[in-house]
Amino acid sequence: MARAVKLSEDLHSLTDLKRQASDLVDHATRTGRPVVLTRHGKGVAVLLSLEAYEELEASSERAVLQAAVTAAHHEYDAGRYIDGDKVDSLLAEWAGRD
């Protein structure tokens, strides 16, 4: 899991990236923390290890799924749903298998 940024260690300029790309990639991989890249003292990009990126993607996908499930529960609780037989009928109709 990606760890919180340590500004004293993880903040680097784009010039640092140009000069030490391999070292910064090693740092991100070793620590599990993102490297924040700056231009003129302001953050402009983030360098993540592949593992941290994959965890971020999976977390995002879980959040989308959870939001959909929560929305479905609200719809159901509000009485806005159709029963299983109707769903089967609609799917068959949409598939051209009337």
**CATH placement of domain 1-48:** 3.40.1620
pLDDT for 7 equals: 84
Query: H-helix or E-strand containing 25?
Result: helix 14-31
pLDDT interval class at 98 (50, 70, 90): low
pLDDT in tens, 71-93: 999 999 999 989 899 999 999 99
User: Considering the entire predicted model, what is its pTM?
Assistant: 0.65
Range(s) within the chain of domains with CATH label 3.40.1620: 1-48
Neighbours of 37 (CB within 10 A): 19
Angle between helices 14-31 and 50-77 (to 10 degrees): 70
The Cα 23–Cα 35 span in angstroms is 11
pLDDT at 4: 87
